[in-house]
Amino acid sequence: MKLFEPTKHTDAGRQSGEGTMEDLKRIKVVTAHYHSLQGLRTLPFLIWVLLINITDAGEIMGIRGMGLDLRCLLVVPGLGLVWALSRWIGAYYDRAFGQVERLPSHRRSLEWLATILFGIIVFISIWIDGLLRLPVIVTSLVLAAAMAYFWWTSHRFLTHYLVLAAFLVGLALLPLLGVPIDGRWYDHFVSYVFILGVFIVVCVLNHIALVRNVKALSQVAS
């Protein structure tokens, strides 16, 4: 299985119309996720939050003074930079890919419900990881389940979500291989850096998926 692979039009597939049906489904999925596939839009904000948390982690680990100064620098000018970068990236997407307005929220009620449910489950899993110290990282398993669900609802076109899900399951099992699951680093890793890191990777992969899928669709048309 290759990531972002365009539909192969085999003779048998052509006869049954499978290739065309797959392309139409791809168009539907890419259009429905057009905004979320523009992953670079949220990247500056996520990196900003990650930097704030890393400096916070630095302070916890005993690198005092530097953390505080860095945070002062990051909060005010950092936010301005995030805003400017996001605007610039947004303008790039509008210029290169055009604009798609998503379906009204009442037509996406299931999506909203899944997002709220996911948020609650992540919160509970962070709490479980911090409190119970199970031999697996529950947050990682929850994120893996969410990625797999997203892959499934995208008619299995957005393959990178499945690859990430497999990676997260592997990470979740690290404590079983002897990686220690106590100490403050673990709390920080699970609750902030880890989740933010996953979202940053998702954003970048989403952007690549958008570019590759649009390219694949234009090849089909030509």
Among 72, 75, 103, 113, the residue binding another protein under the rule CB under 8 A is 103
Q: Would you say 16 or 115 has its CB closer to another protein?
A: 16
Residues 59-88 contacting another protein, CB under 8 A: none
Residues 117-156 contacting another protein, CB under 8 A: none
C-alpha span between 81 and 87 (Å, rounded): 10
Residues in the chain: 222
C-alpha span between 219 and 222 (Å, rounded): 5
For residue 8, the minimal CB distance to another protein (Å) is 17
For residue 27, the minimal CB distance to another protein (Å) is 5
For residue 105, the minimal CB distance to another protein (Å) is 10
Among 2, 8, 101, 131, the residue binding another protein under the rule CB under 8 A is 101
C-alpha span between 125 and 199 (Å, rounded): 17
> Could you tell me which of 34, 50, 9, 6 has the C-alpha nearest to residue 101?
34
CB atoms within 10 A of CB 130: 14
3-state secondary structure of 75: helix
Among 7, 32, 126, 205, the residue binding another protein under the rule CB under 8 A is 32
CB atoms within 10 A of CB 133: 12
Terminal CA-to-CA distance of the chain, rounded, Å? 25
Q: Indicate if the alpha-carbon torsion angle 50, 52, 53, 58 is positive or negative.
A: positive
C-alpha span between 106 and 157 (Å, rounded): 25
Among 4, 9, 13, 23, the residue binding another protein under the rule CB under 8 A is 23
Q: Would you say 32 or 168 has its CB closer to another protein?
A: 32
Per CB under 8 A, 218 contacts another protein: yes
Among 51, 100, 145, 174, the residue binding another protein under the rule CB under 8 A is 100
Per CB under 8 A, 109 contacts another protein: no
**Residues forming the site for another protein (CB under 8 A):** 16-18, 20-21, 23-24, 27-32, 34, 97-104, 214, 217-222
